[in-house]
């Protein structure tokens, strides 16, 4: 009995010694938790696009091994405007906002910092917003207007170019040009159920159309018999249409420089952030030209021959055609013909190309004492340059003449320079509207 009691006592003492020697495990070190949080954030965002053109979100809270860790985001601008990046707190997220149209590249670092006690860990991501090509007098149309001249264009961010619809096809796609002045004027037509887009190919009303060229496949074409009816997307400010069972929009993608038809799913929902990054929709643009009057004629340079008709509140351009016995005009810069200056003995002549034919703008004596204007391959007038008024004059039928219009007319005729000189100089822009050589730009 004594042996049994002694054995039990010894066993109890051993147990007490064992318990006394056993330590409670320490909590997991803070640095391990933070390192895991850092790696988690890196894994989340390492494949995010470096190029950022639209606001985007980042998480401000992560959970690691059941423990909630706050994430602090900070931004450092490397190049570009210092105020180009803004971080806006939200519910368990932050929104990164940026200058979406910087004139110079905006490159910046986003740093995520996790903290526990005095310990911190950080991970940094580099992003940039590319410089946007200057669009000068261009503004995206945000409200549909019919029978108004627009340009149909897109900003191709990957090419860093603004591309305008040229009024023709390039293979199976719409051709583009970087020349806003040469770009085709595009109009909107209201039809039952929506709209259509058209332009004038010469005198032919021609539509931009999306069609099903084979089962389930949508393509783009120019036609006088359109089948698609577009609807206006008020959020994106563009037209869409359902063709071959799917909503489509017009634009381009990747590094292409033509306009094609793509599914709207590429630019909506989770893909909305791809607009301006890899997807480039085409929009209607209202264009305001910068019109610069030539101060001295330059031979061989392309000009527009233009006037501002104050009484009509219109800028008119010579079209390369006659309207009765006068020069025809248009309000469309795209429809205006290029006019050139040719130096000849004693002065200059004005000409344009009618197809392959070099055709001159001429003032001539059509009957004794009467001067008229004509288009001819055999001109008789020699113009001289008026340095003060920045226009051409020529003496025909015994009197100096200039080209322009007056009162409320919208054609260009020959008038005596006495109407715009001397005591009548104040009538320029009031009742007399001289035509001048001008260059146009939107940048």
Query: For 356-362, what is the mean pLDDT?
Result: 97
Q: pLDDT at residue 135 above 70? A: no
Same structural domain for residues 144 and 283? yes
Return the residue matching tokens 């940026």: 98
Kindly tell me if the per-residue pLDDT of 318 is higher than 90.
yes
Long-range contacts of 198-205 (CB under 8 A, 24+ apart): 199/165, 199/167, 200/335, 201/167
Residue numbers of the domain that contains 196: 138-287
Q: What is the pLDDT of residue 19?
A: 46
CA pair distance 191, 229, nearest whole angstrom: 8
What confidence score (pLDDT) does residue 22 get? Answer: 45
- Tell whether 8 is covered by a domain: no
Domain annotation covers residue 296: yes
Do 223 and 107 have their domain in common?
no
pLDDT above 90 as % of the chain: 76
Residue 159 reports pLDDT greater than 80: yes
Whose tokens are 């004059």? That residue is 393
pLDDT band at 341 (very low <50, low <70, confident <90, very high): very high
In a domain, 315, yes or no: yes
Which residue, chain included where needed, has tokens 């069972």? 245
Helix (H) or strand (E) holding 9: helix 2-21
The mean pLDDT value for 137-156 works out to 90
| Under 8 Å between Cβ of 395 and 361 | no
Q: How many residues does the chain have?
A: 443
Instruction: Specify the pLDDT at position 105.
Output: 83
- pLDDT tens by residue, 410-422: 999 999 999 999 9
Report pTM: 0.63
CB atoms inside a 10 Å sphere around CB 66: 5
- Percent of the chain that is helix, strand, coil (3-state, to 5): 10, 55, 35
User: What's 117's domain CATH number?
Assistant: 2.60.40
CATH number at residue 318: 2.80.10
Q: What is the pLDDT of residue 177?
A: 96
Model confidence at 4: pLDDT above 90: no
Which two tokens mark 148? Answer: 């108004």
Question: What is d(CA 25, CA 22) in angstroms, rounded to the nearest whole number?
Answer: 9
The domain boundary, picked from 254, 287, 320, lies at 287
Over the stretch 17-47, which tens digit does the pLDDT of each residue have?
Answer: 444 444 444 555 666 889 999 999 999 999 8
The reported pLDDT for the residue numbered 241 is: 98
For the cut 60, the answer to whether the pLDDT of residue 323 exceeds it is: yes
| pLDDT for 94 beyond 60 | yes
Please identify, among 129, 147, 163, the residue that sits at the C-terminal boundary of a domain.
Answer: 129
**Residue 376: is its pLDDT beyond 90?**
yes
- Please tell me whether residues 154 and 67 are part of one structural domain: no
Query: In terms of domains, do 254 and 323 share one?
Result: no
Q: Is residue 13 part of a domain?
A: no
In this prediction, residue 136 carries a pLDDT of 53
Q: Write out the DSSP string of 157-191.
A: TTTTEEEEEEEEEETTEEEEES-TTTSPEEEEEEE
User: Where residue 170 sits, what CATH number does that domain have?
Assistant: 2.80.10.50
Name the CA radius of gyration of the chain, rounded.
Answer: 36
Q: With 80 as the cut, is the pLDDT of residue 85 above it?
A: yes
Q: How many domains does the chain have?
A: 3
Quote the mean pLDDT of the chain: 90
> What mean pLDDT is predicted for residues 283-309?
92
Q: 257 and 170 in one domain?
A: yes
Contacts of 74 (CB under 8 A, 6+ apart): 87, 110, 111, 113
Beta-carbon count within 10 A of 378 CB: 6
Over 80: is that where the pLDDT of 137 sits?
no
Q: Is the pLDDT of residue 109 over 60?
A: yes
Angstrom distance (rounded) from CA 83 to CA 91: 24
Q: Is 401 exposed, middle or buried (0-12, 13-18, 19+ CB in 10 A)?
A: buried
Domain final residue pick, 94, 129, 164: 129
What span, in angstroms and rounded, lies between the C-alpha atoms of 29 and 117? 11
pLDDT the model gives residue 29: 60
**135 CB neighbour count, 10 Å cutoff:** 17
Residues 303 and 425 reside in one and the same domain = yes
Q: Tokens for 392, please give them.
A: 């051409």
Answer for the pair 389, 341: CB distance below 8 angstroms, yes or no: no
- How much is the pLDDT for 397? 96
Q: What gap in Å lies between CA 188 and CA 254, rounded to an integer? A: 28
Tokens standing for residue 95: 């929104």
**pLDDT recorded at residue 332:** 87
Residue 23's pLDDT is what?
47
Q: Is 17 a member of any domain?
A: no
Residue pair 347/385 in contact by the 8 Å Cβ criterion = yes
**CB neighbour list of residue 245: distance below 8 Å, 6 or more residues apart:** 216
Lowest mean pLDDT of 137-146, 350-359, 364-373, name the range. Answer: 137-146
pLDDT at site 31: 65
63 in the same domain as 97: yes
Give pLDDT tens digits for 245-275. Answer: 999 999 999 999 999 999 999 999 999 989 9
Residue 12 predicted with pLDDT over 90: no
274 with 318: CB under 8 angstroms?
A: no
Domain assignment present for residue 21? The answer is: no
Q: Is the pLDDT of residue 13 over 70?
A: no
CB 107 within 8 A of CB 126: yes
In terms of domains, do 333 and 346 share one? yes
Distance of alpha carbon 251 from alpha carbon 291, whole angstroms: 29
* CB 403 within 8 Å of CB 413: yes
Asked if residue 223 and residue 338 are part of one domain, the reply reads: no
Same domain, 232 and 152: yes
Percent of the chain residues topping a pLDDT of 70:
91
CB 109 within 8 A of CB 413: no
Whether pLDDT at 16 is above 50 = no
- How confident is the model over 234-248, as a mean pLDDT? 97
In a domain, 11, yes or no: no
In a shared domain, residues 63 and 159: no
Mean pLDDT of 308-312: 94
Joined tokens for residue 343: 């130096």
Quote the pLDDT of residue 362: 98
Q: How far apart are CA 429 and CA 94, in angstroms?
A: 57
Whether pLDDT at 115 is above 70: yes
Other beta carbons within 10 angstroms of residue 33's beta carbon come to: 19
Q: How confident is the model at residue 354 (pLDDT cuts 50, 70, 90)?
A: very high
Residue 18 is assigned to a structural domain of this protein: no
**277 and 177 in one domain?**
yes
């Amino acid at each position: 009995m004594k042996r049994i009691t002694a054995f039990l006592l010894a066993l109890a003492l051993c147990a007490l010694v064992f318990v006394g020697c056993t330590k409670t495990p320490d909590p997991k070190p803070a640095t391990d938790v933070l390192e895991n949080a850092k790696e988690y954030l890196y894994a989340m965002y390492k494949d995010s696009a470096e190029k950022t053109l639209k606001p985007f979100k980042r998480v401000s809270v992560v959970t690691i091994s059941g423990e909630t860790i706050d994430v602090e985001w900070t931004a450092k601008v490397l190049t570009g405007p210092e105020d180009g990046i803004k971080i806006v707190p939200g519910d368990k997220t932050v929104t990164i906002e940026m200058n979406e149209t910087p004139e110079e590249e905006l490159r910046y670092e986003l740093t995520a910092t996790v903290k526990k006690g005095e310990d911190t860990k950080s991970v940094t991501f580099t992003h940039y917003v590319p410089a946007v090509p200057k669009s000068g007098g261009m503004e995206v149309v945000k409200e549909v207007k019919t029978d108004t001249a627009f340009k149909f264009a897109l900003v191709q961010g990957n090419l860093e170019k603004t591309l305008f619809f040229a009024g023709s096809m390039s293979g199976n796609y719409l051709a583009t040009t970087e020349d806003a002045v040469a770009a085709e004027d595009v109009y909107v037509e209201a039809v039952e159920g929506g709209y259509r887009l058209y332009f004038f190919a010469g005198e032919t009303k021609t539509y931009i159309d999306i069609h099903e060229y084979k089962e389930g496949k949508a393509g783009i074409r120019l036609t006088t018999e359109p089948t698609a009816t577009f609807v206006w997307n008020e959020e994106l400010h563009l037209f869409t249409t359902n063709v071959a069972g799917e909503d489509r929009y017009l634009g381009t993608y990747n590094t292409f420089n033509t306009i094609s038809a793509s599914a709207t799913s590429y630019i909506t929902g989770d893909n909305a952030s791809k607009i301006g990054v890899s997807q480039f929709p085409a929009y209607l643009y209202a264009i305001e030209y910068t019109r610069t009057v030539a101060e001295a004629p330059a031979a061989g340079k392309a000009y527009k021959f233009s006037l501002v008709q104050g009484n009509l509140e219109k800028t008119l351009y010579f079209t390369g055609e006659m309207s009765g016995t006068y020069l025809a005009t248009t309000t469309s810069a795209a429809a205006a013909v290029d006019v050139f200056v040719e130096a000849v003995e004693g002065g200059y002549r004005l000409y344009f190309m009618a197809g392959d034919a070099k055709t001159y703008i001429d003032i001539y004596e059509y009957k004794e004492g009467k001067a008229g204007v004509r288009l001819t391959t055999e001109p008789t007038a020699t113009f001289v340059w008026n340095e003060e008024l920045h226009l051409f004059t020529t003496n025909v039928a015994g009197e100096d003449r200039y080209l322009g219009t007056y009162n409320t007319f919208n054609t260009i005729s020959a008038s005596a320079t006495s109407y715009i000189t001397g005591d009548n100089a104040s009538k320029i822009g009031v009742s007399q509207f001289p035509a001048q050589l001008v260059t146009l730009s939107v940048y």
